[in-house]
Amino acid sequence: MKILSGTETSKEIKEELKKEVLNLKSMNIEPTLAVILVGDDPASAVYVRNKQRTCTELGFQSIERKMPEDTKQEDLLAVVKELNDDPAVNGILCQVPLPPQCNEQEVIQAILPEKDVDCFHPYNYGLLAAGIPKFMPCTPFGVLQILKRYGYETKGKNVVIIGRSNIVGRPLSILMSLKEWNATVTVCHSQTAKLAEVCRSADILISAIGIPNFVQAHYVKKGAVVIDVGINRVHDPSHPKGSRLVGDVDFEAIKDLAEAATPVPGGVGPMTIAMLMYNTINAARFQEGLEKFEL
C-alpha cells in the first residue's frame, strides 16, 4: 500500500507559496494573517502556534490576538471589527471551539467575506455551492491536492465521504462534484443504511467523522484509495505521553486492501495549514485587485 504523505505534499506546496510571497513582496504586498484565540484550550494553542510558525516559514506576517476564557461576545466582535477595519490584515481566523458564552456562527459571519480565509462565511460557502469558489475550504482542498499530486484521477470515480460537517464533508462533496473534479459523490452519515456496503462501492473513500479506527477492512474494497481526515487522541499507557493520535481508519486493517492511504499523523493535517496559507496569499492578491494564484 502506498502512503500518501501530507507532510511531503505540504512541503512541496509551501515551496510554491514561498515563491509567490516573494513575488508579492516585489510589489510591496506582504500577506498578513490575524488569528484570534479565546481561552486556554491546549489543542487550539498548538494549532495557532503551528499556523504562526508556517507564516514565518513562508515569509509573511502573523498577528495573534489572545483573549481570556471569560471573554464576552461583544468584546470578541469588537476585535473582529478592529481586524476587519485594518487594511494591513488580509486574512482573519478565529480559532474554534469558542467558550460557551461566545456564539461561533455570529463571529464567523462578522468576519468580512474577503478576509474569511477559512471559507466558513455563508457568502463564501454560497460561492462554493454555486461552483464559483473564491476561497477554497482548507481541509477539503488539501484532500484534493493530495489526490492530484499523487496522480489519482477523480473524474468518473465513485467517491464516498463519511461525515457531513460544514468544515469537511459537505464542502468536499461540493468541490468533488464540480466540473474540475467530476467525481460521483455519496455523502454518508449516522443515518446511512448499510454503511459498510456503501463504502465498499468507493474508488476513493474519505472518512471525516472523528471516531477512532471506525473504518475497518469490510468498509474498503480492494484497490481503493483511502483518505483519513480524522485526528483522534486515544489512551495508550505504552506511549511516553500516555496517549497517541489515530485516525478514523484502522490503518493496519486496511493495508492489504487499499491501493493507497493517508497516515495519521502526517496525512491531511499538514495540508490544512498549507491551504490556509494559500487562501491568505489569495486574500492579499484579491484585496490588491490581482487575479487568483492557482496551485
Q: 253 in a domain, yes or no?
A: yes
pLDDT of 25 strictly over 90:
yes
* 233, 173: one domain: yes
Query: CATH number, domain at 70?
Result: 3.40.50.10860
Share of the chain above pLDDT 70, in %: 100
Across the chain, the runs of DSSP E, i.e. the strands, are 2-3, 32-38, 61-67, 91-94, 158-162, 184-188, 204-207, 225-228, 232-235, 243-246, 260-261
* 191, 225: one domain: yes
* 174, 252: one domain: yes
Q: Classify 105 as helix, strand or coil.
A: helix
Distances in whole angstroms, Cα of residue 121 to Cα of each of 33, 65, 186, 212 = 17, 20, 24, 29
* 79, 46: one domain: yes
pLDDT of 227 strictly over 90:
yes
* 98, 169: one domain: no
What is the pTM for the complete model shown?
0.95
Q: Lowest-pLDDT range, 169-173, 175-179, 240-244? A: 240-244
* 99, 180: one domain: no
pLDDT of 239 strictly over 90:
no
Mean pLDDT taken over the chain: 96
Average pLDDT over residues 128-154: 97
Average pLDDT over residues 33-60: 91
Query: What pLDDT, on a 0 to 100 scale, did the predictor assign at position 116?
Result: 98
pLDDT of 42 strictly over 90:
no
219: amino acid identity, one letter:
Y
Count of domains forming the chain? 2
Write out the residue range of the structural domain in which residue 98 sits: 27-113
Q: Looking at the annotation, which residues are catalytic? A: 51, 95, 118
* 162, 69: one domain: no
* 40, 91: one domain: yes
* 71, 144: one domain: no
pLDDT of 41 strictly over 90:
no
Per-residue confidence at 175, pLDDT binned at 50, 70, 90? very high
Query: What pLDDT, on a 0 to 100 scale, did the predictor assign at position 40?
Result: 86
Query: What pLDDT, on a 0 to 100 scale, did the predictor assign at position 131?
Result: 95
Helix axes 268-287 and 42-58, enclosed angle (nearest 10): 60
